[in-house]
Amino acid sequence: MINYIRKFKTLFFKSDSNRNVLTLMTGSVAGHVVTICALPVLTRIYSPGDFGILALYLSVVSIGSVFCGGRYELSLPLPKEKEDASNLLVIALAVVCIVSVISVPVFITNRGIWEPFVKERTMEKFFVFVPFGLFFQSAYVVLTYWFLRHKAFVLESKSRVLLALVTVVTRLVAGFMETGSVKFGLLWGHVLGQAAAMLFLLVFIAGTEFHFDHVSFTSLKRLAIRYKKFPLLSVWDVVFNRMAFHIPVWIITHFFGISTAGFFSMARNVYNMPTSFVRESISRVFFRRLTEERHNAGDSSQIVKRTFITIALVSFAPFVAIAVCAPFLFGPIFGEQWHEAGKFVIWLLPLAWARFVVSPVSTTLIVYERQGRNLVWQIGLACLTLFAYYGFSNLAIGQLVLTSSSILAGWYVVLFIIVIWVARKYR
């Protein structure tokens, strides 16, 4: 047994990709441990309605942040020349600044336009946080891709830990200080956490190959045109993807109330918190490895298959275990007011597992610049989500979520078929 373990460690750490995954996972695990440990306290400070408002706020920031970088951050690891990469970084950060400024009149000075979408006046206040959340989150994402290009996985890992610490501490302090039926400390935590992580990476950017003397208007124009598919096509595919993810929150809020949306959001977090760091780490390293394989004209289809099979086999049992245990553990862990959320975990199982398995390998479409195919699939995902949740909204909440989850899981199978086809055709 000991020899087997030693052999496994030798084979695992022999691969640069595995070591990089482990480095990113270390920071993500630490950050998620901090968040998970604080969650039982936060669920007793904040009500399900407060978490429902957080879900609505994150839905707006998540979708809006896609426009903030123009998806130019995805192009940062691609150029071989460091001068081109420096210019692309400037392009991405400039788009972040411009879109963030534009969002101010949309969400703050004219936030009354959102009244038809929120039933309670107190809920409307969360729009004030949106421009700040957009800027800091988008800038942080751009910088993580810059450090990914330089394989600075340790720095990115540390930034994730800092993000989690600042977020949790802010939410705890604000929760104890705020009074009233509605609290916004959860939103403050998100804004300040993203700001701290962004500033941390910004401090270390001087140690990379970025230099202002590499930047010129001619290069900016040339590269903006060269990688125009990212803002023209990749933006929309992610927008539709995030719309599909967040549409249920708005529909559930409308038909079942903000507290039920809080239960739904908490159940999704139970899947996302322990699994998102694994999925994101694998996706980033897989993206980098596939990019290198393309430059070397290698057979990417084999990498896609191995990655998919490994993720599917390793993840199935943990997902089932989470679904089985959640209904019995939610009340004791998060407080009795959260007992209902445990049932949502079971109903969301099909979609949660399918998304976890397929999402990492879907970056194949980005590497081979097949954004058009990905866009078509994402539009289908958003339409199916809207159809499932709105079309079956007359059902009980449990039947609605389980039916929708099963339908959307089948659509992720279609995505995997598309990925394999692309990997084979363009290898």
pLDDT of residue 11: 45
The three-state DSSP-derived secondary structure of 17-34 is HHHHHHHHHHHHHHHHHH
Could you report the per-residue pLDDT of 301-333, keeping only the tens digit for each? 677 777 777 778 877 888 888 888 888 888 899
**Residues near 324 by beta carbon (within 8 Å), at least 6 away in sequence:** 346
**Cα 389 from Cα 136, distance rounded (Å):** 31
Contact criterion met (CB below 8 Å) for 86 and 210: yes
Sketch the domain layout of the chain as residue ranges.
22-227, 257-427
13 CB neighbour count, 10 Å cutoff: 11
DSSP string, 26-75: HHHHHHHHHHHHHHHHHHHHS-HHHHHHHHHHHHHHHHHHHHHHTTGGGG
Which segments of the chain have a pLDDT < 70?
1-25, 27-28, 109-124, 180-181, 206-207, 209-211, 274-281, 284-286, 288-289, 292-301, 426-427
Contact criterion met (CB below 8 Å) for 334 and 314: no
Q: How far apart are the first and last CA of the chain?
A: 39
3-state secondary structure of 140: helix
For CA atoms 140, 145, 149, 151, give the dihedral sign: positive
399 CB neighbour count, 10 Å cutoff: 12
Alpha-helical (H) ranges within 227-340 are: 229, 235-256, 258-295, 300-334
DSSP 8-class letter at 179: -
Contact criterion met (CB below 8 Å) for 165 and 227: no
For CA atoms 191, 280, 329, 351, give the dihedral sign: positive
Take residue 323 and report the two structure tokens written for it.
């679904």
pLDDT of residue 72: 84
pLDDT of residue 166: 95
Closest by alpha carbon to 87, among 203, 226, 232? 226
Q: How far is CA 311 from CA 23, 304, 354, 356, in A?
A: 18, 11, 10, 8
Q: Kindly report the pTM of this predicted structure.
A: 0.80
Could you report the per-residue pLDDT of 223-266, keeping only the tens digit for each? 888 888 788 777 887 788 899 999 999 899 888 988 999 999 99
